């Protein structure tokens, strides 16, 4: 039995039943004003949000293309060379580099590591042909507005590639369609999951406190399409399900600087100062720096015990927990570096092996309802708490054969590679249901 009971894994099929707003990556409206939200009808919050515990949530296909197969003899295949190209290094980029190095080690791939360009977009584009010439495949994280140029150049060069952290969308075309396959977060859906989980925490922690006593802060970074889309999803979920919070939902925008701790502290503190009658808060941030800044702001106003914070990313969270620091940041959403990077790395491997092309990989994950041509495979997403994060990271080492978290080695006892779900069910809102649609047929063939 998979250990979903110690992690709140929210999965697509369950969530869509409780959603009012559409969840496509192409329909993100501008954030409504906190005091003038859009109209909606919903019942009062007399019960927890539509989140349930599921024993089995995934569809496992042995030997699935684009994923690691522990039974495969990778040393019987050619030895490929891969390099990770990133516009600007960061702690996150370095962690992804370590994850890619681990997947390379178990798949007979020579991984050349990370090459970064200090934020110089022109330098990255100029260097790509040279870098491509010395590799069989590339992992490329360019600026969001560069993705179209990168996709065109890599097609011309004939070198397989994948975009690890940024969704390869065409930002110059209405709807921002995918330019290439991607595996990772569906931003609005991720925001909806975070919002559903923080509302579940409200019911667990403060069942006797009226929801109307709380305020909600959505910490966004409006100049980032992906991060804002994520937090917009959280807004949509809370607004459409909890009318008690109408007029008590506020945006805090870190785009006045960066999504770092200090900027996040400043913008959240400003919201708290402008609403002195509210002493209970639910805060959703897009990334960890925003969660850390929000917790500092809440602590500064004396609201740590009456508030809850959630954000995507668990690296800073686990370090704070390890250090014994307990704040209003009660839960961190994470896919784990190894699970997040697995389909990215092994899709690239499939391209290099000639087992798939960008047009043929994961047909069941093509959102044909939105008219997409390429797949966006949603990776599993777990909510980690003080009680569960060590076991989760210990398990990711078991799953990948890595030793990235030796400090949690004692928690590996009793765990196996299949102790947690590793596949998301394909959301029904991906399906166009048109007669003869190959994408719908591919999903139906695996029970989705």
C-beta separation of 417 from 339 below 8 A? no
What is the predicted pLDDT for the residue at 214?
Answer: 98
Is 61 a domain residue? no
| Residue 164 to residue 347: CA distance in whole angstroms | 11
**Do 246 and 341 fall into the same domain?**
no
Flag whether pLDDT at 7 surpasses 90: no
User: How far apart are the two ends of the chain, measured CA to CA in Å?
Assistant: 21
Whole-prediction pTM? 0.82
What is the predicted pLDDT for the residue at 63?
Answer: 66
Report the domain count for the chain.
2
**Do 205 and 324 fall into the same domain?**
yes
Is 151 a domain residue? yes
What is the predicted pLDDT for the residue at 200?
Answer: 93
**Do 343 and 291 fall into the same domain?**
no
**Do 151 and 245 fall into the same domain?**
no
Is 158 a domain residue? yes
Flag whether pLDDT at 58 surpasses 90: no
DSSP H or E stretch at residue 338 = helix 337-353
What is the predicted pLDDT for the residue at 289?
Answer: 93
Q: Is 176 left (phi over 0), alpha (psi -120 to 50) or beta?
A: left
Domain boundary among 279, 299, 334: 334
Tokens of 329: 């940041």
| Residue 233 to residue 431: CA distance in whole angstroms | 20
**Do 313 and 168 fall into the same domain?**
no
From the number of C-beta atoms within 10 Å of its C-beta (0-12, 13-18, 19+), residue 55 rates as: exposed
Q: Per-residue DSSP letters for 179-239? A: SS-EEE--HHHHHHHHHHHHHHHHHHH-TTS-GGGEEEEEEE-TT-HHHHHHHHHHHHHHH
Compute the average pLDDT of residues 18-41: 34
CATH code (residue 248): 3.40.50.2300
Is 397 a domain residue? no
Tokens of 360: 């043929």
Tokens of 92: 């996150």
**Do 345 and 371 fall into the same domain?**
yes
Flag whether pLDDT at 91 surpasses 80: no
**Do 154 and 288 fall into the same domain?**
no
Is 391 a domain residue? no
Give the chain's mean pLDDT: 86
What is the predicted pLDDT for the residue at 425?
Answer: 84
Is 127 a domain residue? yes
Domain boundary among 273, 301, 334: 334
**Three-state SS at 169:** strand
What is the predicted pLDDT for the residue at 24?
Answer: 35
Flag whether pLDDT at 309 surpasses 90: yes
What is the predicted pLDDT for the residue at 92?
Answer: 78
Is 408 a domain residue? no
Residue 350 dihedral angles phi and psi, to the nearest 5°: -65, -40
Domain that holds residue 97: 74-183+337-380+420-443
Domain boundary among 297, 318, 334: 334
**Do 163 and 276 fall into the same domain?**
no
Q: What share of the chain is helix, strand, coil (3-state, %, to 5)?
A: 40, 15, 45
Q: Per-residue DSSP letters for 238-287? A: HHHH-GGGTT-EEEEEGGGS-SSHHHHHHHHHHHHHH-TT--EEEEEESS
Helix axes 91-105, 337-353, angle to 10 degrees: 50
**Do 258 and 174 fall into the same domain?**
no
Flag whether pLDDT at 48 surpasses 50: no
Flag whether pLDDT at 106 surpasses 50: yes
**Do 293 and 173 fall into the same domain?**
no
Q: Please tell me which residue, 156 or 145, carries the higher pLDDT value.
A: 156
C-beta separation of 241 from 49 below 8 A? yes
Flag whether pLDDT at 51 surpasses 80: no
Task: Read off the pLDDT band of 26 (50, 70, 90).
Answer: very low
Q: How many CB atoms lie within 10 A of CB 320?
A: 19
Helix axes 187-205, 225-241, angle to 10 degrees: 40
Task: Read off the pLDDT band of 61 (50, 70, 90).
Answer: low
What is the predicted pLDDT for the residue at 117?
Answer: 94
Pairing state of beta strands 249-253 and 214-220? parallel
**Do 128 and 46 fall into the same domain?**
no
Is 341 a domain residue? yes
| pLDDT tens by residue, 120-132 | 999 999 999 999 9
What is the predicted pLDDT for the residue at 62?
Answer: 57
**Do 177 and 192 fall into the same domain?**
no
């Amino acid at each position: 039995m998979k250990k979903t009971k110690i992690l709140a894994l929210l999965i697509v099929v369950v969530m869509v039943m409780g959603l009012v707003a559409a969840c496509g990556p192409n329909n993100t409206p501008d954030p409504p004003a906190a005091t003038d939200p859009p109209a909606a009808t919903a019942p009062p919050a007399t019960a927890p949000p539509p989140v349930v515990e599921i024993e089995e949530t995934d569809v496992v296909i042995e030997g699935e293309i684009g994923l690691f197969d522990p039974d495969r003899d990778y040393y019987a295949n050619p030895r490929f060379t891969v390099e990770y190209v990133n516009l600007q290094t960061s702690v996150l980029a370095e962690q992804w580099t370590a994850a890619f190095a681990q997947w390379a080690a178990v798949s007979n791939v020579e991984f050349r590591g990370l090459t970064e360009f200090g934020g110089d977009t022109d330098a990255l584009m100029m260097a790509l042909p040279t870098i491509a010439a010395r590799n069989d495949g590339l992992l490329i994280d360019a600026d969001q507005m560069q993705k179209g140029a990168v996709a065109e150049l890599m097609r011309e060069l004939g070198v397989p590639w994948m975009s690890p952290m940024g969704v390869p969308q065409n930002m110059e075309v209405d709807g921002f369609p995918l330019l290439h396959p991607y595996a990772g977060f569906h931003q609005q859906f991720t925001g909806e999951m975070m919002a559903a989980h923080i509302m579940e925490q409200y019911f667990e922690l403060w069942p006797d406190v009226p929801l109307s006593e709380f305020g909600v802060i959505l910490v966004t970074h409006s100049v980032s399409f992906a991060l804002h889309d994520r937090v917009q999803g959280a807004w949509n979920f809370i607004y459409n399900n909890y009318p008690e919070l109408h007029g008590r939902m506020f945006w805090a925008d870190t785009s006045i600087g960066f999504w770092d701790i200090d900027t996040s502290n400043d913008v959240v503190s400003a919201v708290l100062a402008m609403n002195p009658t509210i002493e209970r808060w639910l805060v959703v941030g897009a990334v960890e720096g925003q969660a850390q800044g929000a917790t500092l702001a809440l602590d500064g106003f004396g609201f740590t015990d009456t508030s809850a914070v959630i954000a995507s990313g668990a690296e800073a969270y686990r370090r704070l927990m390890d250090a014994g620091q307990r704040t209003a940041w009660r839960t961190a959403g994470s896919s784990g570096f190894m699970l997040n990077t697995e389909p990215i790395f092994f899709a690239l491997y499939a391209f290099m092996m000639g087992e798939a092309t960008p047009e043929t990989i994961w047909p069941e994950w093509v959102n044909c309802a939105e008219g997409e041509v390429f797949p966006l495979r949603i990776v599993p997403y777990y909510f980690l708490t003080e009680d569960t994060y060590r076991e989760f990271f210990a398990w990711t080492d078991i799953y990948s054969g890595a030793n990235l978290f030796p400090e949690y080695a004692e928690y590996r006892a009793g765990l196996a590679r299949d102790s947690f779900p590793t596949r998301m069910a394909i959301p029904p809102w991906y399906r166009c249901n048109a007669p003869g649609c190959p994408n719908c047929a591919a999903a139906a063939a695996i029970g989705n």
